[in-house]
Structure 1
């Protein structure tokens, strides 16, 4: 097991380096100079040069990247151009809020998606299977930001049942609508994955052997769930990581103060350090989540060790 984990860690290192290069390059290639937003009107050439030197913008891009990477390695993501605070202080609370929303969304997606997928996989009625499959396809196809706006119009404006935006007091009412909007696409993906896995496993010979031995449906279901678990785990891990980085539109619609909302504000204010730091942290979390899923899959399915 240790050898497998070390090998996966070794594979993750060049990926992490590539992610840092892409992150730095994409932000640098964006039009405009973010330093212009903090240069006072009518500033002298000497003052402009000093400001650029303070932010390291007066050096070639390769040098800027190496210095930026060196600071990142020790946990220094720079300072926000807009607020002057360290990026870690801006990013920390936002990341916690995004994780809260992502955990609520993935829990909802897992419960609903797994249930629908299992029902569809076990359904003897083509009508039930087709209906659940249609719901899953619709979930994958519906843009979550559009669904978010519909939920606000119906449940906040129309019925006045739930708050439309923000986090509010810790009564969990504010998280219901954004969690639903965020969970719809993963729910559809999980449902389709579970359905396909259940159908595949039910065709295996060992399932027929279990029935031949006189095991009840409930006990056979336990074996099916055990074999479906690695697939569901992999899908959930990837979807959770994607929720953290792909919730910018949902968080903007609901004014949820997470990383997506932070990135949206940084884009409009041209706050390059915040944008770079947020993208980098989210990308690294995605890489680490992939690594964690690989390790957990090995624990659930010993056959993974052979690959």
Structure 2
């Protein structure tokens, strides 16, 4: 298992190099000058030249990229162009808020998606199944920012039940301000989880051991949870893991709509200012987080399905024999 984990982390290195290269050159080729954005349109040529030299923007593009990568190897994500603060410190300050939002959104997806998928599978081709699948299709197709604006209009402006922007203070304040963005962000994931749960359950629901359990008089609820859902978990875990990774990096629109002080909003503001170190640092951090989530999902497979765990043991035993 540990060799597999090390291999996965080794595969992350070329991914990060490719991601940083693409983002760095896209930002460099987009219109706009970070120095002019920082100093304003009324800045003198002398001040512009001075700040350009201080930020190292007068060097050739490849030289700047090489310098950034050398600093990255030392664990230094650089300093923000706009406020000269450490990019790493700003990311670590905001990422917990993004993580809270992603966890809340995936909980919404699980609470809605799994029961809906189970009911649809057990009531296949009924009006209930058709209704749920149509709603799931709508949920997958619905733009996150549009749903966020609708929720704000209904529950914040009209009903005045929940705050529309920012992050509240204290547990209840955070909980209230988290409801709308979590539902907005988790709706699409709930639809994906529901569709995958239904599909996985349908592959299990007509197996012989299900009929055997019913013949023995096992309760239907026990059959559903212990025999059907447990054996259908692998595809569901895959979807949930991928969705959670995407929620970490895809909360940009939701955080912007609800003014949530997370990493996505920080990245949007950095893009507007052409703050290359902040954008690159955010992308690298989210890429690593997404890869770690996928790795944890792969490890979780071994605990859910004993057959996968036995494969890891066989592979490690073969590796030891080859080494001998």
TM over 0.5: yes
Q: How does 1:43-122 map to 2 (within 5 A)?
A: 43-44=45-46, 48=48, 50-122=50-122
Query: 1:31 & 1:304 partners in 2: Cα distance?
Result: 50
Q: Is the 8 A contact 1:23 1:280 kept in 2?
A: no
Point out where structure 1 has 5 or more consecutive residues left out of the alignment.
none
1:231 is matched with which residue?
235
Unaligned runs of 5+ in 2: 313-324
CA offset digits 1:80-132 (Å, max 9, x no partner): 12212111222222211111111111111111111111111111561111011
Provide the rounded CA distance (Å) in 1 between the counterparts of 2:161 and 2:287: 36
Q: Distance in 1 between matches of 2:227 and 2:14?
A: 38
Match of 2:320 in 1: none
1:27–1:276: 8 Å Cα contact kept in structure 2? Answer: no
Give the alignment's Cα RMSD to 1 decimal: 2.2
**Superposed CA offset, 1:130-171 (max 9, x none):** 011111111111111111111111111111111111102221
C-alpha displacement of 1:212: 4.3
Q: In the TM superposition, what whole-angstrom CA distance separates every residue of 1:193-232 from its partner, at most 9, and x where no partner exists?
A: 0010000111333333433454332332212222222222
Cα distance in 2 between the residues matched to 1:206 and 1:21? 53
**Structure 1: distance between partners of 2:78 and 2:278:** 8
**Structure 1 segment 245-256 matched on structure 2, within 5 A:** 245-256=249-260
- Name the CA distance, whole Å, in 2 between partners of 1:280 and 1:18: 10
Residue 50 of structure 1: CA displacement? 4.8
**74 and 265 in structure 1: CA distance in 2 versus 1, 3 angstrom threshold:** same
Structure 1 residue 78: deviation in Å? Answer: 1.3
- CA–CA separation in structure 1 for the residues paired with 2:58 and 2:124: 68
Match of 1:206 among 194, 200, 209: 209
Distance 1:302 1:58 in 2: 58
Aligned-partner Cα distance in 1 for 2:7–2:304: 18
Seen in structure 2, the aligned counterparts of structure 1 residues 228 and 28 have a Cα distance that, compared at 3 Å, is: farther
**Structure 1 pair 239–37 and aligned structure 2 pair: CA distance change class (3 A):** same
Partner SS for 1:270? coil
Query: Please, what TM-score do these two structures have when normalized by structure 1?
Result: 0.91
1:260 aligns with 2:264: yes
For residues 58-207 of structure 1, the aligned pairs below 5 Å read: 58-124=58-124, 126-170=126-170, 171=172, 172-207=175-210
SS in 1 for 2:45: coil
- Number of the residue aligned with 1:279: 283
- Aligned partners of 1:150, 1:184: CA distance in 2, in Å? 13
Measure the CA separation in 2 of the matches of 1:56 and 1:210: 70
TM-score by length of 2: 0.86
Taking structure 1 as reference, are residues 124 and 270 closer, same or farther at Cα in structure 2, changes over 3 Å only? closer
